Copies of this chain bind each other. A is one copy, B any other.
């Protein structure tokens, strides 16, 4: 086992480990040479560190290829499992998806992007940017603009407009300010029709929590069939319900829960039923 060079600091060593682990992001399994190139480390250092990471389960080796290991996944899930907003959102998102068919996201502000923490539903497919663990630019997304509208401007991240995937993407401060004004007019709910991808409409509301971080709940569906006004009302109620649950406030019991014949157990329905009125407008035409 090699000795550390004299003068090597703990920070330098942590950074080497980090650069190796980060080199796997967005990649298929990598060879040693690719890891060394990606992390900017000499091949011998990369190999020594990889060996230990494999022993820890943080990296796994399959013949001559390396990839992130299952222990990394377990550590990562601790981030969401320890958050009351995630525990509160999951049943609400699941019920919302089951009832509407739309895809629900829980996202948080991470620099000038939003990071998706949870997704229930598979539409619009497994394209990278919609997955749990993926990021989207804050200005482009309904979730991002719902958060910007809710946060004092002094606390905003630096705003960058970056690439513009469609002709509907918000591309200037003037457009952004107009969208934020509309969001505030809707009581904080942001709507993004096709700003991320053609044919995709997203509706988002912020969730006020003391959970460390800024969180938003959103629903996305096909632009041509989403009934925006109904989705706005649903997202608003859902975000409020998650906030109440995460804050330990008993749920509002506006109407009795509708019995669903295919729902074999009561817990989720009881919690969520109070939020959704059974005669709510259908979300899609």
Contact = CB atoms under 8 A, between A and B. Distances in A.
| Identical chains in the assembly | 2
A267 B8 CA distance: 53
A14 B222 CA distance: 47
Nearest to A48: B10
Contact of A262 (B72, B77, B131, B284): B284
A101 B26 CA distance: 33
Interface string A26-53: 1111000000000000000100110011
A29 to B, nearest CB: 7
Chain A residues touching B, majority SS: mixed
Given A62-B212, A78-B25, A267-B123, A56 B14 contact: yes
Nearest to A125: B267
Interface stretch (A15-23, A140-148, A154-162, A171-179): A15-23
A122 B92 CA distance: 9
Contacts of A81: 128, 131, 133
A73 interface: yes
Interface stretch (A63-71, A182-190, A250-258): A63-71
